[in-house]
Amino acid sequence: MLDYFETIKLLPPEYPENLLYKNRKEFLNQEFTIIVLDDDPTGTQTVFDVPVLTTWGKSEIHKELQVGERLFFILTNSRSLTPNEAEKLAMKIGRNIKAASEISGRKVLVISRGDSTLRGHYPIEVDALGKGLGIENSPQILIPALFQGGRYTINDIHFVREGDDLIPAAETPFAKDNTFGYTSSDLKEYIEEKTHGNIKAKDVVSISLDNLRIGGPVKINEILDTFKQGQACIVNAVSQSDLEVFASGFLKWFKNSKTILFRTAASVVPSLAGLPVKNPLQKNDLCFEGMGGIIAVGSYVPKTSLQLDFLKKNYKVEYIEINVANLLNPKGYKLEVSSATKKIDRNLKAGQSVVVYTSRKIIKGNSPEESLRIVNMVSEGMVEVFKNVKTQPRFFISKGGITSSDILTKSLEVKKAKVLGQIIPGVPIWKLGDESKFPKLLFMAFPGNLGGEDAVYEVVKKFN
């Protein structure tokens, strides 16, 4: 564990030039599209005015490429799938992107966006994506930095910031995930662990903070030029400036039609597209429709439970607990779902907001696959609850990635949405499309692992 402020003091100063404008110009001049495959809906937490698709058919992808869309997201929700399902999906989407790119004649850069605390189907879906795209032997770059969530990589160690402390990621609760657990905070060792030794830690290339802050874009370009087929690389980063330096070197390298596979968190996306990080939206920026609001809490990470407790103490609305044991029991399922739906509609019709949350006792399976199955059964119950709600809310906050994705696609029937920006740092706010159950609804997919105990409450206050 390190002290955040003391650690930052010891680092070399940031690269002296602001490269954002140059990156934007270079990106636009190259005439290619960035497509981000998001394994849950929270990955749009650093961009604005960007479309999100919840389908991945060849025709839908081709439509975005044909109109010259420069950056868009595809929500895959692959974190909710088994490894085999995630692999098949990634390969299918890769093939569809390849076909759409060839038909439209537009070059693409595809990014597999994953969790900033290293949970997810890595490297399975990245490898499968490469096969689908026809670039399976391309080098892979891992960049899990997410500054809005306090995730930094220093000296190859990935850290999670809690207050003034930097905690190695493998020592946090996220690393104990029933499905996606790991033991290595050193990203080189993490890659060896996750590839089961197929890529050795000693063979992983590291782009250091010295490379970024002293060597600059020229040094990054030189390192990228040394890449061999199948090589893995990690990028250290502590600030957006670090990623803009990386992006500057990368864009020059990519200009020569090089192929690459990315596994990243959300912070690098705006740097690659030359987009500024926008300030969070305020109450005056928001247009409401509907009655009351819904806060759905499905995530079980400790931070989410703390935020729920803070809400209960400070936000005086009705709290509806979904008994998970009943959702897993065919006899109790229908009654549990029906009761919750009726309470939600009653509150919304009265112009009142409501908090709907799953009971906090975690029910584990005897294997990672069984634990994932239980997670999905609980999510299906939450989906059914909101699918039956008849009254349009003014806003919808969903806590937890898998929960958010299922509610968006299955309860609210969203096909396309627009990212307006962030409601607080790291929390995206979407405006749902006209085809959805509640057109123009403002929806926030709130990462389960992000924010202090008052974070959800701070969002709610913007709608009251």
Domain with CATH 3.40.980.20 in the chain: 283-461
Q: Please check whether the domain covering 2-273 is classified as CATH 3.40.50.10840.
A: yes
Q: Residues 297-338: pLDDT tens digits?
A: 987 677 888 999 999 999 999 999 998 888 888 888 899 999
Tell which CATH architecture fits domain 283-461: 3-Layer(aba) Sandwich (3.40)
Q: What secondary structure letter does DSSP report for 355? A: E
CA dist 332 to 284, 324, 336, 339, Å?
43, 10, 6, 11
Cβ contact 450:174 at 8 Å: no
Long-range contacts formed by 370-377: CB under 8 A, 24+ apart? 371/178, 371/179, 372/80, 372/82, 372/178, 372/179, 374/328, 375/80, 375/179, 375/402, 376/80, 376/402, 377/327, 377/328
- Note the pLDDT of residue 42: 84
**pLDDT at site 300:** 67
Query: Which of 167-171, 284-288, 378-382 is modeled with the greatest confidence?
Result: 167-171
- Is residue 453 very low, low, confident or very high in pLDDT (cuts 50, 70, 90)? very high
Is the per-residue pLDDT at 450 higher than 90? no
Task: Report CA 122 to chain centroid distance, whole Å.
Answer: 14
- pLDDT tens per residue, range 118-140: 999 999 999 999 999 999 999 99
Read off the pTM. Answer: 0.91
Question: Could you report the per-residue pLDDT of 75-124, keeping only the tens digit for each?
Answer: 998 988 889 999 999 999 999 999 999 999 999 999 999 999 999 999 99
Q: Which residues have a Cβ under 8 Å from the Cβ of 53 and sit 6 or more positions away?
A: 60, 61, 64, 72, 73, 74, 75, 415, 416
Q: pLDDT band for 60, please (50, 70, 90 cuts).
A: very high
Strand partners of residue 74: 37, 53
Q: What angle do CA 391, 394, 397 make, to 5 degrees?
A: 100
User: How would you label 334-357 residue by residue, b for 16+ Cβ within 10 Å and e otherwise?
Assistant: eebbeebbebbbebbeeeebbbbb
CA distances to 160, 238, 458 from 9, rounded to whole Å, are 18, 12, 31
DSSP state of 338: H
Length, in residues, of the chain: 464
Two tokens, residue 61 = 């992808």
| More confident position, 435 or 303 | 435
Nearest to 256 by CA among 227, 214, 213: 227
DSSP tag of 408? I
pLDDT tens readout for residues 336-388: 999 999 999 999 999 999 999 988 777 677 787 787 777 778 888 889 999 99
Query: Between residues 361 and 262, which one has the greater pLDDT?
Result: 262
Mean pLDDT of the chain: 93
Confidence band, pLDDT 50/70/90 cuts, at residue 280: very high
Question: What residue ranges of the chain are covered by domains with CATH 3.40.50.10840?
Answer: 2-273
Q: Look at residue 286 in the predicted model and tell me its pLDDT.
A: 87
Model confidence at 270, in pLDDT bands (50, 70, 90)?
very high
